[in-house]
Structure 1
Amino acid sequence: MKAFANYHPIVIFLYFVFVIGLTMFYMHPIYLIISLAMSILLSLQINQKSFLHSLKWMVPLFVIAALINPLISHDGEKIILYIDDNPITIEAIVYGFAMSVMICTVIFWFGCYNKLMTSDKFLYLFGKISPAFALIISLTLRLVPRFQQQIGAITQAQRAVGMDVTSGNLLHRIKCGIHILSILITWALENAIETADSMKARGYGLPKRSTFSLFSFEKRDALTLTIMFILMTINVIGSFLGYTDYYFYPTFSELVLQPISLLLYTTYTLLLALPIIIELWEAFKWRSLISNN
């Protein structure tokens, strides 16, 4: 996903603002399916190995979140059974699965955001507006991935010297886990000191401090932003007109395929698939240049 990652940071940031915002507010089944499919495709293009690894805990999360709703919500007309005199309805089950799809899709989009919207891009956008806030957000977004990478390296190193947290009796595993956690905390404290010294050496916080950036706003960025705003505006207007509404209670709304609905589904798909389309277009141009030579 190098093509879209090379666009101006404002383009990447607004893309994810639009996509995640629409995904969080649309509970329409077709919109959920489109958003889930596009988030999976983009995740596979960005980092296939990491995405497949995340499914190990995403699938149980999906099932648990889907089963919780019918246990706490008993609305709906189509009752399938009773548990302690509480009705379990098909509407509640389907709504639980819809909520699970929405939650997992948002997580997938945020995973793509962390890969494409790097800390230097975020600081470039918001560093001049609020340097402290931009720095805190940037460090927070990097915290979990860096801790995961570091704890993996520590675990492998300790395993080589016989401190394997996955083998031995319970007492040995606890001892190894505490030892690994101690090393991780020490590394985090040392890294914080090094980061503070590095920031001080670079003049962070000084008045009238100049910055250097390689980012430049080009014609392709303006064109992409224009297309994004057009597609976003069409879907927002469709929402105000009620074409994206869908109700699960007291029973399911009817799915009506009208020309305006097909237009909204198409524009929504194009908006979400924009990075994939850009990547395919750049690959096509590259192959055309190679074939011409």
Structure 2
Amino acid sequence: MNFASYHPALNLLFFVAVVTFTACWTRPGLVAVSFLCALAFSVRLRGSRAVAFGCVLALCTLAFAALFALNVHFGVTPIARTPIGNSITVESLTCGVIMGLKVAAILAWLSCALCVFTADKVVFLLGRVFPKAAMMLAVVLRAVPVAGDRARKIAVAQSGIGKGPGQGNIPRRIANALRRASILISWSIERFIEMSDSMRSRGSALRGRTAYSLYRFDNRDRALAIVLVALITVCSAATALGQTQMLFSPVIVVPKASSAGVAVFAAFFALCLLPLALQTAGEAAFSRKVGSVSKGESRSPFESEAQEKGRTA
């Protein structure tokens, strides 16, 4: 029941929606909600590495805000002056913080998308629109790890004859690197020729050929699609009503509190929190099932046999 187990089209719809809204909106509360939810979902998916990534993003946001305030001057509320006499204003500093936080939130969402979207999902989504491009993408995705493995084998083999990486003087190392690259390119070309012949013999270029996929749009996906469309509709309507923008020049102007503003906050918070909730619920359900199975198997065959003998006696 985790978010990655849903249909790839729904995963794509979610990430496109949150990234688009985050990039277009300037209201601080909405941007902060996007960043915090993206960071929480990333921590759920990637663990401690996501925490370090979030700290780096926060530091980069502060550094960008400081550089933006030092180099871009607008607003009527000065807070300091640079050594050359330019004013640092509250408006420019706030704008820099919002812009940096928007970029940080988008990067956090993209890191989550890299964990959710596997190669088969990308090929599936692309194959529905561009089948030949999907086939080429599948070939490239497979060729990259194979080329890396072959490069390591070539380096080990060349090291045995004194022509590996780090062996010899600088001109010799350059010549050895060119030799290894030549071997890898020749090997890759030969593999692509064999693959092309194999794919042609299987009818890859025939008209009307379809691709096999494991993904089906079931009732669970339909329910999630209804929720996503409803939340995205509310957010889009609030955008059209001007409840998601904030002015920075010459003074900071925030839209007045209204029912539309409350609705967009609630809808966007629910939208950003949806994958984390599904991931947590799915992992909890899986843990309960594993626990029930382990309890059922906790009795050994000898205990069951002893109980059976006791009942017969």
TM interval, short-chain normalised:
0.7 to 0.9
Matches of 2:85 and 2:25 in 1, distance apart? 33
1:60/1:196 CA distance change after superposition, 3 Å: farther
Compared CA separation, residues 276 and 206, structure 1 to 2 (3 A): same
CA distance in 1, matches of 2:244, 2:180: 51
1:72-111 alignment runs, 5 A limit: 72-79=71-78, 80-111=80-111
- The answer to whether the 8 A contact 2:75-2:89 is kept is yes
Deviations 1:20-64 (A, max 9, x none): 111111111001110000110111111124434545864564344
Q: Counterpart in 1 of 2:44?
A: 45
Q: Does 2:174 correspond to 1:198?
A: no
Residues 1:120 and 1:163: Cα distance change in structure 2 (over 3 Å): same
Please provide the CA RMSD for this pair.
Answer: 3.9
SS of the residue corresponding to residue 74 of structure 1 reads: coil
- In structure 2, the residue matched to 1:281 is 281
After superposition, the C-alpha distances for 1:59-93 in whole angstroms (9 at most, x for unaligned) are 56434432332233211111221443432212111
How far did 1:98 drift? Answer: 1.1
How far apart are the structure 1 equivalents of 2:212 and 2:248? Answer: 52
Q: What is the alpha-carbon distance in structure 1 between the residues aligned to residue 175 and residue 246 of structure 2?
A: 50
| C-alpha separation in 1, matches of 2:50 and 2:176 | 29
In the TM superposition, what whole-angstrom CA distance separates every residue of 1:139-185 from its partner, at most 9, and x where no partner exists? 89x69xx79xx69x97xx99xx9979xxxxxx99xx99998899789
2:39/2:54 contact within 8 Å kept: no
| Deviating more after overlay: 236-245 vs 29-38 | 236-245
Mapped to 2, the partners of 1:281 and 1:198 lie a distance apart of 43
Give the 3 Å change call, closer, same or farther, for CA 287–67 of structure 1 in structure 2.
same
Question: How far apart, CA to CA, are the structure 1 residues paired with 2:184 and 2:52?
Answer: 25
The amino acid that maps onto 1:38 is: C
Query: In the aligned structure 2, how far is the partner of 1:208 from the partner of 1:11?
Result: 26
Matching of residue 9 in structure 1 with residue 8 in structure 2: yes
**Deviation of 1:198 (Å):** 3.4
User: Which residue is 1:240 aligned to?
Assistant: 240
Equivalent position of 1:117 in the other structure: 117
Q: Which amino acid aligns with 2:100?
A: S
- Partners of 1:213 and 1:262 lie apart in 2 by 41
Letter in 1 for 2:37: M
Structure 1: segments with no counterpart, 5+ residues: 165-170
CA separation of 1:211/1:138 partners in 2, compared to 1, >3 Å: closer, same or farther?
A: closer
| Distance in structure 2 (CA, Å) of the matches to 1:89 and 1:186 | 59
CA distance in 2 between counterparts of 1:105 and 1:75 reads 25
Larger Rg, first or second structure (1 or 2): 2
CA distance, structure 1, for counterparts of residue 55 and residue 181 of structure 2: 24
Q: Write the mapping of 1:128-167 to structure 2, written as runs, cut at 5 A.
A: 128-134=128-134
Q: How far 1:209 sits from its partner (Å)?
A: 2.8
Answer yes or no: is the 8 Å Cα contact 2:70–2:82 preserved in 1.
Answer: no
Q: Which range moved further: 240-249 or 177-186?
A: 177-186
Question: After superposition, what is the alpha-carbon deviation per residue over 1:243-280, rounded to whole angstroms, capped at 9, x for unaligned?
Answer: 11211221222464444322221110111111111122
The percentage of counterpart residues that share the same residue type is 20
1:30 and 1:181 mapped to 2: Cα distance?
Answer: 54
- SS at structure 2 position matched to 1:88: strand
What do the CA deviations read for 1:188-239 (whole angstroms, capped 9, x no partner)? 8855764674365235444333321111111010110110000000111111
Name the structure 2 match of 1:167. none
Structure 1 CA distance for aligned equivalents of residues 29 and 178 of structure 2: 45
Secondary structure, aligned partner of 2:128: coil
Distance 1:16 1:179 in 2: 45
Residue aligning to 2:267: 267
Structure 2: 5+ residue runs without aligned partners? 297-313
Distance 2:255 2:113 in 1: 32
Does residue 210 in structure 1 map to residue 210 in structure 2?
Answer: yes
The one-letter code sitting in structure 1 at the alignment partner of 2:20 is G
